[in-house]
Amino acid sequence: MMNLQKLQSYRGGTKRTIATLLEKIEEKKEKGTLIEINSLLKILETKVEMLETLNEKILSTLKLTESR
């Protein structure tokens, strides 16, 4: 199992990526094509799923640490 710090670091990077994607989507709403927006939304969906997985891994790592 990955160590907690590494998981938290990955989660931080994923959150920053999500924030950047949200900004890009906002920009594209003004002057982008539907294809560009859909592409960004698909990437966003993948990143949100990654974030959920990381949160679950962090939670289970914390539970393992507590039970020791």
pTM here? 0.88
- pLDDT per residue over 7-40, tens digit each? 999 999 999 999 999 999 999 999 999 999 999 9
The conformation of residue 3, written as its DSSP 8-state character, comes to: -
Instruction: Please tell me the total count of domains within the chain.
Output: 1
Residue 67 lies in a domain: no
Q: Residue 67: what pLDDT?
A: 82
- pLDDT per residue over 44-62, tens digit each? 999 999 999 999 999 999 9
**Domain range for 57:** 4-62
Residue 52 lies in a domain: yes
Residue 17 lies in a domain: yes
Q: Residue 1: what pLDDT?
A: 56
Residue 68 lies in a domain: no
Q: Residue 65: what pLDDT?
A: 82
By the 8 A CB rule, do 54 and 7 touch?
yes
Q: d(Cα 11, Cα 17) in Å, to the nearest integer?
A: 10
Residue 40 lies in a domain: yes
